[in-house]
Amino acid sequence: MNQTAENIKELNERINRESAFIDLVNNEMSKVIVGQKQLTEGLLIGLLSNGHVLLEGVPGLAKTLAIKTLSQIIKSKFNRIQFTPDLLPADLLGTMIYSQKSEEFMVKKGPVFANFILADEINRSPAKVQSALLEAMQEHQVTIGEETYKLDDPFLVLATQNPIEQEGTYPLPEAQVDRFMLKIIVNYPKKEEEKLIIRQNITGEFPKPDQILTSDDIIKARELVKEVYIDERIENYIVDIVAATRNPELYGLEKFKELISYGGSPRAGISLAKATKAYAFIKRRGYAFPEDVKSICHAVLRHRIGLTYEAEAQNITTEEIISEILNTIPVP
């Protein structure tokens, strides 16, 4: 992509102007969600780059409230699906039912037919239910019987999982995890934030967000995000980061060779580039910096690196590996 300095300046001015709604969205989100800036940012990046988000955190950290609030800000349909061990794929996607009146089978669409899907505690259902979401997440379509139905646009899956409870849970298959663009770790609020949360809940005064966007606004913004300029040196930087998760020894990181069982797939590089563009857009810029890659790298790669038993025995985490890779690969 050859861009002159003049073109980039013009693009930057246009995106700075067109991305003004980001501040409005942040203001509306902050009315309801106290703190959790990283969570809000991750949701926006997923929304603007057409990617799904996996949230990991203990109960009570406003994961459900965050996506519900985002769906209220944007005029769109929101469905919450509680994943349980007895859930069936048809409970998600829909099924064929027989109508006695018309004497023929009719399609009853499931809750996946919405703009925002909250897959609550996704790891509480077995693999056959988790994998029922694969086609919807990747192709944005659902097959029921012999017919295939397109899902509405925008379509965003936000899945939550509890990292503490392991009993009665089913680990997500690698193919399922890889389809999530980002994995956001949701942490406890700060003391001042928690005090405000308690105060709001005691008084029962819960602010409501205003509806400020439509689905068409999001689709238009996505087209603008695609135009954000990424220099070839930053593209090479992204490729090197992902390659270092597969062959760390080629980047002077021999110590990780026996600790990584598998690295990021090509989808990791695609997701990192898309998320970098969306991050630059959120920061009201028409071009990406290497720092944008660094800022979003952990969220894109933390669930795409497999660890060996040796790594687990040494208490090495994917977070440490990604940090070491970022500290080792030269910044363009």
**In this predicted model, what pLDDT tens digit does every residue of 140-161 receive, in sequence order?**
888 887 788 888 888 888 888 8
In this prediction, residues 3-20 reach a mean pLDDT of 78
* 3-state SS, residue 1: coil
Please choose, from the candidates 153, 87, 152, 79, the residue with its C-alpha nearest in 3D space to the C-alpha of residue 118.
Answer: 79
Residue at token pair 């009719």:
106
What is the average pLDDT value for the chain, to the nearest integer? 84
pLDDT of 311 > 60? The answer is yes
* 3-state SS, residue 91: helix
The more confidently predicted of residues 155 and 204 is: 155
| Cα–Cα distance measured from residue 52 to residue 42, given in angstroms and rounded to the nearest whole number | 10
According to the model, what pLDDT value does residue 166 have? 62
Weakest mean pLDDT among 199-203, 237-241, 292-296: 199-203
Would you say 53 and 181 are in contact if contact means Cβ atoms under 8 Å apart? yes
In this prediction, residues 116-136 reach a mean pLDDT of 82
Polymer length of the chain? 332
In this prediction, residues 305-325 reach a mean pLDDT of 88
Query: Could you please report the per-residue DSSP string of 261-307?
Result: EE---HHHHHHHHHHHHHHHHHTT-SB--HHHHHHHHHHHHTTS-EE
Would you say 15 and 284 are in contact if contact means Cβ atoms under 8 Å apart? yes
Q: What is the largest CA-CA distance in the chain?
A: 70
In this prediction, residues 306-313 reach a mean pLDDT of 86
pLDDT digits (tens, 9 = 90+) for 167-196: 667 777 776 788 889 998 887 777 877 787
According to the model, what pLDDT value does residue 94 have? 84
pLDDT digits (tens, 9 = 90+) for 188-200: 777 877 787 787 7
Would you say 129 and 94 are in contact if contact means Cβ atoms under 8 Å apart? no
According to the model, what pLDDT value does residue 167 have? 62
Rounded to two decimals, the pTM is: 0.85
Q: Give all strands (DSSP E) within 138-256, no chain letters.
A: 141-144, 147-150, 156-161, 180-185, 213-214
298 pLDDT tier (thresholds 50, 70, 90): very high
| Cα–Cα distance measured from residue 298 to residue 290, given in angstroms and rounded to the nearest whole number | 14
Domains belonging to the chain, first-starting first, are 36-202+213-220 (3.40.50.300), 229-328 (1.10.8.80)
pLDDT of 1 > 50? The answer is no
| Cα–Cα distance measured from residue 47 to residue 43, given in angstroms and rounded to the nearest whole number | 6
The more confidently predicted of residues 107 and 82 is: 82
